[in-house]
């Protein structure tokens, strides 16, 4: 089997990640719940993971790195914790439903929303941010990298715009954390949301958000915190303020191992490796008859995501044949990002997404190119 | 054409859980079929569909009814 679906989850992981999860299951108790050796071991693991995330993402403070089960919960926490009726928020057509749906729900409650359009290559016009400004504009929520095209947004430019207009800035780093440089302080992001199981190479069920010191979020969930048990209200101080309930300490041990691996190998090195594979794939398929590639496939600073269609074939059918006949795992459909498909003109049939990991091999890429060529020859 | 089209019974569902339960029930009943991406003839969205032999329609319909599974769509399609 050839796994080319790393934008969905990093199935290919260094062995240290699974080992760390298994080890933690034998060595840690409940994090932040008491002071016996096993709970302390759990608490230390979780804290080490906060420090590792903070270092990798240029966060302000490890104590303001709060863990959630995934990026969707982190984004809901940030978006619903910051905005409400009467506010105006700007986002883009590149977004995943984990950004769009919380915004749509707030819109139904009286929040105003502007979605900046993308062109047919999946890029936005940065001048649109200024054009979208209103007196009640409170913030910008945007992805760092599209999960469909691999195109990236210039966080530094958007962060500067937010800073100039006193707006909060929420970044969805689901597709970029561990892959591209994400530096919360440098771009002035109020909140950076991340998932653990993609570029950070950790297990599913891990993710979180890093919150800037001047930002206060209403928590989505309240309950057990391990501290202030006689207080009727959930504690406000971070990280516990956004972490009701027992954390996934074993998963976070795996996430810590993933981030440590990235640090030891060098994030830039891993990124270069996977981009080399993605570019080889692009170069192999771009001139095949009937192949349509989407996005800015030759742009610098993109991610190793390549979406395509074959003639007028159903993307789901292409992905199914790739899996059944060639053992190649891809992702077809709308990728939970409907607006970018509208921009690309692929709403009706979606696209087939190939997403690469540094742990893929050139041979696997060559096989994928051969498979696409085979299918292109059938249409 | 990527492969030879065949007439298939295609069932789509409201949830992925229902698709997986259908696979479980069909396997337990020894019915031929497998889960596939939803064909675009039925939906532009994502998700899983059950693709089975057309002659299993009546049996599957009864099986799903018995299990309280309400299919979103059930159609015989050439795919």
A225/A295 same-domain check: no
Cβ-based burial of B63 (10 A; exposed 0-12, middle 13-18, buried ≥19): middle
The CATH number of residue A249's host domain is 3.40.640.10
Structure tokens at A137: 């504009």
Residue-wise DSSP of A287-324: TSTTEEEES-TT-SS--SEEEEEETT--HHHHHHHHHH
Chain A CB contacts of B79 under 8 Å are 317
Which of A232, A265, A298 delimits the end of a domain? Answer: A265
The CATH number of residue A289's host domain is 3.90.1150.10
DSSP assignment letter at A118: B
Q: Does B44 touch chain A (CB under 8 A)?
A: yes
Kindly report, residue by residue over A70-122, the tens digit of the pLDDT: 999 999 999 999 999 999 999 999 999 999 999 999 999 999 999 999 999 99
**Alpha carbon distance A114, A91 (integer Å):** 6
Residue-wise DSSP of A265-287: H-HHHHHHHHHHHHHHHHHHHTT
**Alpha carbon distance A148, A136 (integer Å):** 31
A112/A205 same-domain check: yes
pLDDT at residue B45 tops 80: no
A124/A260 same-domain check: yes
Nearest to B39 among A314, A335, A348 (CB): A314
Kindly report, residue by residue over A133-190, the tens digit of the pLDDT: 999 999 999 999 999 999 999 999 999 999 999 999 999 999 999 999 999 999 999 9
A139/A19 same-domain check: yes
- Chain A residue at shortest CA distance from B49: A316
pLDDT attached to residue A78:
98
**Alpha carbon distance A309, A344 (integer Å):** 11
A310/A211 same-domain check: no
Nearest to A149 by CA among A26, A7, A37, A263: A7
Residue A30, min C-alpha distance to chain B (Å): 31
A135/A280 same-domain check: no
pLDDT at residue B43 tops 90: no
The pLDDT-based confidence of B41 (bands split at 50, 70, 90) is confident
Can you say how many angstroms the Cα of residue A331 is from the centroid of all Cα atoms in its chain?
16
Neighbours of B45 (CB within 10 A): 14
User: Which residue out of A308, A325, A329, A350 would a mutagenesis test of the B interface target, given it has the greatest number of B Cβ atoms within 10 Å?
Assistant: A350
Kindly report, residue by residue over A245-271, the tens digit of the pLDDT: 999 999 999 999 999 999 999 999 999
A270/A260 same-domain check: no
**Alpha carbon distance A47, A221 (integer Å):** 21
pLDDT at residue A272 tops 80: yes
Number of domains making up chain A? 2
A214/A67 same-domain check: yes
A172/A58 same-domain check: yes
Which of A247, A265, A283 delimits the end of a domain? Answer: A265
CB contact at 8 A, A355 and A5: yes
DSSP assignment letter at B38: P
Domains and CATH numbers, chain B: 7-78 (3.30.70.260)
pLDDT attached to residue B46:
77
Q: Label the pairing between strands B48-52 and B7-13.
A: antiparallel
pLDDT at residue A127 tops 90: yes
DSSP assignment letter at A235: P
User: Which residue out of A310, A315, A317 would a mutagenesis test of the B interface target, given it has the greatest number of B Cβ atoms within 10 Å?
Assistant: A317
A105/A170 same-domain check: yes
Residues 6+ apart with CB under 8 A from A65: A50, A53, A54, A57, A59, A208, A209, A210, A239
The overall longest dimension of chain B from CA atoms, in Å, is: 38
Kindly report, residue by residue over A11-67, the tens digit of the pLDDT: 999 999 999 999 999 999 999 998 999 999 999 999 999 999 999 999 999 999 999
Q: Label the pairing between strands A351-355 and A305-310.
A: antiparallel
Interface A–B counts its CB contacts (< 8 A) at 48
Look at residue B72 and give its three-state secondary structure. strand
Which of A234, A265, A296 delimits the end of a domain? Answer: A265
Residues 6+ apart with CB under 8 A from A24: A42, A45, A249, A250, A253, A254
pLDDT at residue A345 tops 80: yes
What percent of the residues of chain A are helix, what percent strand, and what percent coil, each to the nearest 5? 40, 15, 45
CB contact at 8 A, A308 and A352: yes
**Does A333 contact B46 at a Cβ distance shorter than 8 Å?**
yes
pLDDT at residue B44 tops 90: no
Structure tokens at A243: 């972490």
A295/A332 same-domain check: yes
**Does A316 contact B38 at a Cβ distance shorter than 8 Å?**
yes
A291/A349 same-domain check: yes
Residue A320, min C-alpha distance to chain B (Å): 7
Domain hosting residue A215, numbered range: 15-265
**Does B37 contact A379 at a Cβ distance shorter than 8 Å?**
no
Nearest to A143 by CA among A128, A124, A127: A124
């Amino acid at each position: 089997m050839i796994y080319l679906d790393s934008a969905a989850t990093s199935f290919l992981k260094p062995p240290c990640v699974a080992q760390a999860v298994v080890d933690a299951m034998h060595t840690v108790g409940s994090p932040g719940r008491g002071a016996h050796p096993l709970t302390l071991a759990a608490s230390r693991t979780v804290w080490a993971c906060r420090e590792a995330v903070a270092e990798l993402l240029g966060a302000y403070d490890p104590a303001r790195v709060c863990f959630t089960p995934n990026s969707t919960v982190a984004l809901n926490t940030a978006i619903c914790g910051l905005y409400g009726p009467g506010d105006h928020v700007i986002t883009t057509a590149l977004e995943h439903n984990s950004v769009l749906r919380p915004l749509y729900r707030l819109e139904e409650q009286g929040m105003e929303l502007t979605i900046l359009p993308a062109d047919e290559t999946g890029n936005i016009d940065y001048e649109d941010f200024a054009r979208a400004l209103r007196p009640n504009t409170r913030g910008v929520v945007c992805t760092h990298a599209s999960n469909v095209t691999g195109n990236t947004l210039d966080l530094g430019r958007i962060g500067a715009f937010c800073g100039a207009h006193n707006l909060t800035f929420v970044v969805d780093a689901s597709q970029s954390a561990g892959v591209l440089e994400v530096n919360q302080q440098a771009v002035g992001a109020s909140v950076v949301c991340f998932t653990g199981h993609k570029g950070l190479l950790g297990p599913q069920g891990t993710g979180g958000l890093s919150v800037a010191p001047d930002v206060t979020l209403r928590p989505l969930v309240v309950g057990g915190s391990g501290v202030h048990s006689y207080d009727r209200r959930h504690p406000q101080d971070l990280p516990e303020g956004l972490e009701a309930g027992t954390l996934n300490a074993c998963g976070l041990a795996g996430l810590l191992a993933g981030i440590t691996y990235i640090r030891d190998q060098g994030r830039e090195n891993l990124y270069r490796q996977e981009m080399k594979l993605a570019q080889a794939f692009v170069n192999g398929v771009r001139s095949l008859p009937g192949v349509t590639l989407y996005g800015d496939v030759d742009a610098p600073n993109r991610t190793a995501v390549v979406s395509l269609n074959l003639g007028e074939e159903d993307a789901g059918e292409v992905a199914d044949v790739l899996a059944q006949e060639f053992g190649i795992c891809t992702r077809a459909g709308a990728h939970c990002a409907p607006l970018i498909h509208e921009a690309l003109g692929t709403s009706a049939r979606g696209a087939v997404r190939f997403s690469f990991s540094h742990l893929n091999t050139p041979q696997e890429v060559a096989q994928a190119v051969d498979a696409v060529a085979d299918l292109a020859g059938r249409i | 054409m990527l492969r030879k089209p065949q007439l298939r019974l295609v069932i789509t569902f409201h949830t992925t859980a229902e698709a997986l339960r259908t696979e479980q029930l069909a396997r337990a009943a020894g019915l031929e079929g497998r889960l596939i991406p939803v064909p675009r003839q039925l939906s532009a969205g994502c998700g899983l569909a059950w693709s089975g032999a057309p002659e299993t329609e009546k049996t599957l319909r009864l099986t799903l009814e018995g299990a309280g599974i309400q299919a979103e769509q059930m159609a015989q399609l050439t795919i």
